[in-house]
Structure 1
C-alpha cells in the first residue's frame, strides 16, 4: 500500500510541475492535458488511485470467484421480495390494496428487476431456465449446481425478509402470533404468501399440466427473445420478460399460482415450514409440493425443444446437429462447446 501511495504522489507531483511550466501557460492548455512530453493527465492520476487497493484485498478475490453465485442469489431474492411482497399486501389488506391483477404486475416487476440485478451471471434466477440452457445452449453443466443452490438460498432469504416485514399484519390476519395456517386448512391462511397452492378442484394431472404448460411458454419465449436470428429483444429483454410473466400470470396463473420456478416455490415453502407453518405446507393439495419442483424442469426443457426444432437455426443447439443431438450425446469429444452468455 505504501509503494502505491508513493507512486500516486509522484504522478501528482509531475502533473503539478507540468501544469506550472511556462509552455503550458503560453499555450493556454486545459488542466486535463498537462504536458506534451510526458502526456500526464488527471485521468491517469485517478486511475492510479482507483487501482491502488487492487488485488491485495481478500474480498476482491472472493467476489471475483463467487460473483455469478452472488448475482443469482440477489437476483432471485429481488424476485421473491416483489412477488411475495405483492401477494402479502393483497391478501393481508383483504383486497383493499390490490387484486389478482396487482399480483401479476408484482411478479412481472420482480422478474424484470431480478434479471437486471443478475445480468452479470446471465439473469437465470430459475433452476429450470439454467437447466434448459445447459441442454440447448452449451451452458457449462458444472455451473448448474452452483446456480441452483444460489437461487434456492436467495429465494429463502427473500421470503424471510417478506415475513419479517409483514409479521404484525400476519398475526392480526391469522388471529394471533402463535397461529400459522395453510390454504385448505383455514379460512385465514397466510402460507400462500410464500409459495403456491392449487385450487381445491384441481386433480394431480391438472396441477402438473398447468405448471408444465406455463413453464414451456416461459422457456419458449426466453429463447425467442434471445434469438438474434429472429426479431429478438436485445437489451430490452428484461422489460419484455415483465410482460411475459404478467401474461402468464393473467392467463394461466389461477389454477396453481404459476410457480414456473422450482427455487421460487421450494425455497419460500421451506422457509415457511421453518417459520412454523407446519407439515401442512407439504401435505396441502394432496402433497402438491413436488409438482412445482418437477414440472418446471420438464416444461422448460420441452418449451426450449419446441423453439429449437421449429424456429432456431443456431449451431449451438443440439437440435441442429446430426440426429437431433443423439450423435453429440454419444460422441462428446466432437461437441462444440458454446457458452450462452446471457440466457435471459
Structure 2
C-alpha cells in the first residue's frame, strides 16, 4: 500500500522535481538564517550577536545543499543559476523552474519566521512595523545598507562579496582542480558563506543572493511594513538583485580565465600523451 502511494506521488518531470528541490533547499537555508537574525534583533543582544547571524546562514547553506543537492545541484541562489545558464552548465529552459523554486522557498521561509516570532515582533515594536528607526524590524527579513553607505559603495560591496562567493563555490566543486573531498562540499560552502559574512557583511548585510533578498522583501511589504521596504536606503531594493548577478558572472569569468581553461589545456595535452603512448605500446605487441 505504501509503495503504491509513493509511486503515485513520484514526479517524473525533471523540471518540477528540481523546482521542489530548490524550494526545499532555499526554505531550509532561509529559515535557519532569518531565525538567527530575528533572535539577535528581537532578543536585544541577549540571544546572540552578529556572529550568530553569520553562523546561522552558514549552517543554513550547508543544510540546504544537503536537502536539494542530489536533485537540483542546490543552487539556492538566482545569481548562480543565471550564471550557470550563461556558461552553458544549465539549460536555459530550466531557469524558470529554478528561480520559481528558490523564490517560493524564500517567501515561505519569511512567512514562517513572521509567524514564529510574531509575538516577539509585536512586543518589540508595539505593533508598529517600521523599516528604519530605533525599533526597525524589516532588516530581519531583507538586507539594508548601513546609514553611512553610499549607493555606489553598497553596490560594490555586494558585487565583490558575490565574486568571492562564486569563486569559492567553483574552487570547492571543481574536480578537475584541487576540489574538496567528496562529501565535504556542503560543509565547506557553509564555511565560505560564514567567512563572507564575518569579513564583508558590515556594509550591506551581505545579501549576495537575489533569492535571499527579494521574496522576503515582498513578504514584508504585504505583512505590514508597506512600500518603505522598497524606498528605504535610497531605493536600495534593486542592488541585491543586480549586483550579485554581475558579481557571480565576474567570479565565473575570473575562474574560467585564470584556472579552468589552463586545466582543460593540461588535461587535453595529457590525454594526447596517453593516446600516443597507447599507440606505441600497441605497435610493439
Q: What is the TM-score when the length of structure 2 is the normalising length?
A: 0.88
CA distance in 2, matches of 1:314, 1:73: 36
Closer, same or farther: CA 168–308 of 1 in aligned 2, 3 Å: same
The equivalences for 1:208-247 within 5 A come to 208-233=155-180, 234-247=182-195
State the 4+ residue runs in structure 1 displaced beyond 4 angstroms.
Answer: 52-55, 62-65
CA distance in 2, matches of 1:225, 1:246: 15
CA distance in 2, matches of 1:181, 1:122: 37
2:260 to 306, 312, 327: 312
Deviations along 1:248-279, whole A, 9 cap, x unmatched? 00000010000000010001000111101011
Please say which of residues 78-87 and 133-142 is displaced more in the overlay.
133-142
Give the match for residue 249 of structure 1.
Answer: 197
Pair member with larger Rg: 1
Closer, same or farther: CA 132–169 of 1 in aligned 2, 3 Å: same
Closer, same or farther: CA 242–275 of 1 in aligned 2, 3 Å: same
1:303 to 251, 257, 278: 251
Deviations along 1:137-185, whole A, 9 cap, x unmatched? 4211110111011101110000000000000000011023xx11003xx
Cα-Cα RMSD: 2.0
Partners of 2:162 and 2:248 within 8 A in 1 = yes
The equivalences for 1:42-61 within 5 A come to 50=3, 55=7, 57=8, 59-61=9-11
Give the match for residue 201 of structure 1.
Answer: 148
SS at match of 1:242: helix
CA distance in 2, matches of 1:228, 1:74: 26
Give the match for residue 207 of structure 2.
Answer: 259
The equivalences for 1:86-97 within 5 A come to 86-97=36-47
Partners of 1:211 and 1:292 within 8 A in 2 = yes
Going by fraction, where is helix more abundant, 1 or 2?
2
CA distance in 2, matches of 1:65, 1:252: 35
SS at match of 2:157: helix
The equivalences for 1:1-344 within 5 A come to 50=3, 55=7, 57=8, 59-61=9-11, 66-119=16-69, 120-176=71-127, 179-183=128-132, 186-233=133-180, 234-313=182-261
CA distance in 2, matches of 1:213, 1:60: 41
Residue 315 of structure 1 deviates from its aligned partner by 8.9
Closer, same or farther: CA 117–73 of 1 in aligned 2, 3 Å: same
Partners of 2:11 and 2:17 within 8 A in 1 = no
CA distance in 2, matches of 1:54, 1:152: 27
Please say which of residues 76-85 and 136-145 is displaced more in the overlay.
136-145
CA distance in 2, matches of 1:269, 1:143: 25
Aligned residues: 263
SS at match of 1:159: helix
Partners of 2:177 and 2:263 within 8 A in 1 = no
Closer, same or farther: CA 173–153 of 1 in aligned 2, 3 Å: same
Residue 135 of structure 1 deviates from its aligned partner by 1.9
SS at match of 2:134: coil
Residue 314 of structure 1 deviates from its aligned partner by 8.0
CA distance in 1, matches of 2:169, 2:14: 28
Partners of 1:180 and 1:276 within 8 A in 2 = yes
CA distance in 2, matches of 1:161, 1:236: 29
Closer, same or farther: CA 90–141 of 1 in aligned 2, 3 Å: same
